[in-house]
Structure 1
Amino acid sequence: MAAATATRVLTAPVDLDRPGHYVHWGVIQISVANLVVIGLMVVVFVAALLLPFPRGKRDDE
């Protein structure tokens, strides 16, 4: 019984035996998985631009 539970935990959360889902915009066709990855990369890039860099203490004496 423990082996079946371990197998369920290690399997993919999405059924990978089925064809992927695609988004169509005219001549552009992209898979939903790739669209999600691109969206996350844009979010991380914007966060890197907007969040301040950490600064150490300065000794201005």
Structure 2
Amino acid sequence: MVKATTSKEDRMTEVMSSGTYFGWGGFIIQSGNLVVIVVMIVLFVLALVMPFPGGKGRK
């Protein structure tokens, strides 16, 4: 017999079980999302540090 309805806890367990999660205190993040955030931060820092092309010769 198949259950017609699932409880909220069953759905959350199903969602939480699909992937690798990291947690620090009350903060939980999926590994894929963590990779995307780290890449975005690295690109942002590189954009701040790297000079614009041709920027030194202009007045």
Normalising by structure 2, report the TM-score.
0.62
- Once residues 29 and 19 of structure 1 are traced to their aligned partners in structure 2, the CA distance between those partners, rounded to angstroms, is 14
Q: How does 1:1-61 map to 2 (within 5 A)?
A: 19-55=18-54, 58=58
Gaps of 5+ in 2: 1-16
Aligned-CA RMSD value: 2.2
1:55: Cα distance to partner?
Answer: 1.2
> Percent identity, aligned pairs only?
50
How far does the alpha carbon of each residue in 1:1-55 deviate from its partner, in whole angstroms, 9 at most, with x for none? xxxxxxxxxxxxxxxxx71000010000000000000000000000000000011
The number of residue pairs the alignment matches comes to 42
